[in-house]
Amino acid sequence: MVRLTRSVKTSGCAAKLPSKTLNEILSSLPLMEDENLIVGFETSDDALVYDLDGENLLVESVDFFPPVADEPYEFGQVAAANALSDLYAMGAVPKLAMNIMCFPSCMDLSIMKDILLGAQDKAREAGCVIAGGHTIADSTIKFGLAVTGFTTKKRLWTNKSAREGDVIVITKKLGVGIINTAAKAEMADECDVKAALESMKTLNKKAFETACLYDIHAATDITGFSLLGHLYEMAEAASLSVRLDSSSLPYFSASPELARLGLIPEGAYHNRDYIEDKVHFASSVPREITDIMFDPQTSGPLCLAMSEDDALSFVREFGEPAAIIGCFTARGGSVIDVS
């Protein structure tokens, strides 16, 4: 059996270009404007948003990456769940998708079929139809989806609308990048790898549907740029700061020890390099916990900003592993302060 993760250098969202590199390129491009384009790439949101008729909005995103699971079917599931999450993070319901596949011409085509079947089943679970796509020959497998969905102006969530005093909630455990790195080095327990895989395969559909019952002020999902990277984007967009309680973070129990062993994905170092000077860590926060906060996530949690009352109610209703991890404050000396 071909173990897909052994065929690639980096897995999942850890394969993203470093934030610093990407921002340098994007900031140098002229903006393409359209009076109906409500959200583009300039605010680091999870998807573009286009006004259809003054009330209804079209939301589109694309995401693909190298294998993060050894089984082709499970890789397809994770890749689909990850791509669909961008729309949930915008308050949109995904409806249509197209496959994006890079595939080695020398590899058994049954592997491609199983990847596509995994994606189809996850899309079906989301109520989304995959209706086509594009495939090219490449030396490394890469797969994902271009996804289209819909929402309304009243329901739209962006990453720039957090308010001072808002509480921050995340809906999945952190640390999957560290576990995936350990798995590639054959230094992770099978039960830990399975737990991380189950999390990555889990749609953010329930988190989205539960959040729709509350007044969400801002939202994103935590993926390759890490918890701290995505919170930094939210704070910058809203001209606020973030205060985090490291003891409240939900993470996989194996992640701290694996981080202490140095089993940290390259993307975590890129994330740390990009924003470490914007983050103040209390001396009591262990290095391995900061590693988890910089860890690139694949198909990670939704990150929601809402009032404290709504946050407490959301966490009770949604259940574990959802957790309140901090709040937005007036802009202070550091963009993010971690205690």
Query: Phi and psi for 62 in degrees, rounded to 5?
Result: -145, 140
- The three-state secondary structure class of 332 is coil
Per-residue pLDDT at 148: 98
- Token look-up 């694949």 returns 298
Catalytic-labelled residue, pool 13, 128, 303, 327 = 13
**Annotated catalytic, 13?**
yes
The rounded radius of gyration (Å) of the Cα atoms in the chain is 19
pLDDT truncated to tens, each residue of the chain (339 aa)? 667 887 676 755 667 667 777 778 887 888 888 999 999 877 778 899 999 999 999 999 999 999 999 999 999 999 999 999 999 999 999 999 999 999 999 899 999 999 999 999 999 999 999 999 999 999 999 999 999 999 999 999 999 999 999 999 999 999 999 999 999 889 999 999 999 999 999 999 999 999 999 999 999 999 999 999 999 999 999 999 999 999 999 999 999 999 999 999 999 999 999 999 999 999 999 999 999 999 999 999 999 999 999 999 999 999 999 999 999 999 988 999 999
Separation in Å, CA 81 to CA 87, 198, 221, 223, 334: 11, 11, 12, 12, 33
Per-residue pLDDT at 40: 86
Tell me how far apart the 2 most distant CA atoms of the chain are, in Å: 56
Per-residue pLDDT at 55: 96
Per-residue pLDDT at 11: 59
Per-residue pLDDT at 287: 97
Separation in Å, CA 146 to CA 155, 181, 311: 22, 26, 31
Per DSSP, what are the bridge partners of residue 305? 168, 218
Query: For residues 111 and 131, what is the distance between their CA atoms, to the nearest angstrom?
Result: 20
Strands 56-65 and 48-51: antiparallel
CB burial of residue 226 (10 Å; 0-12, 13-18, 19+) = buried
Per-residue pLDDT at 31: 81
- Supply the DSSP string of 244-289, one letter for each residue: E-GGG--B-TTHHHHHHTT---HHHHHHHHHHGGGEEE-TTS-HHH
Q: What is the DSSP letter of 62?
A: E
Give all domains of the chain, ordered by start, each with its CATH number.
Answer: 4-152 (3.30.1330.10), 167-338 (3.90.650.10)
Task: List the Cα angle 72/190/64 in 5-degree steps.
Answer: 35
Residues 6+ apart with CB under 8 A from 271: 18, 19, 225, 226, 228, 229, 294, 295, 296
Peptide bond into 321 cis (omega under 30): yes
Please list the alpha-helical segments (H only) found in the chain: 19-27, 72-88, 109-126, 176-184, 190-201, 205-211, 226-238, 255-260, 266-275, 287-294, 308-318
Q: What is the DSSP letter of 134?
A: E
Per-residue pLDDT at 60: 98
CB burial of residue 22 (10 Å; 0-12, 13-18, 19+) = middle
Q: What is the DSSP letter of 303?
A: E
- Token look-up 């809402």 returns 306
pLDDT per residue as tens digits for the range 234-271: 999 999 999 999 999 999 999 999 999 999 999 999 99
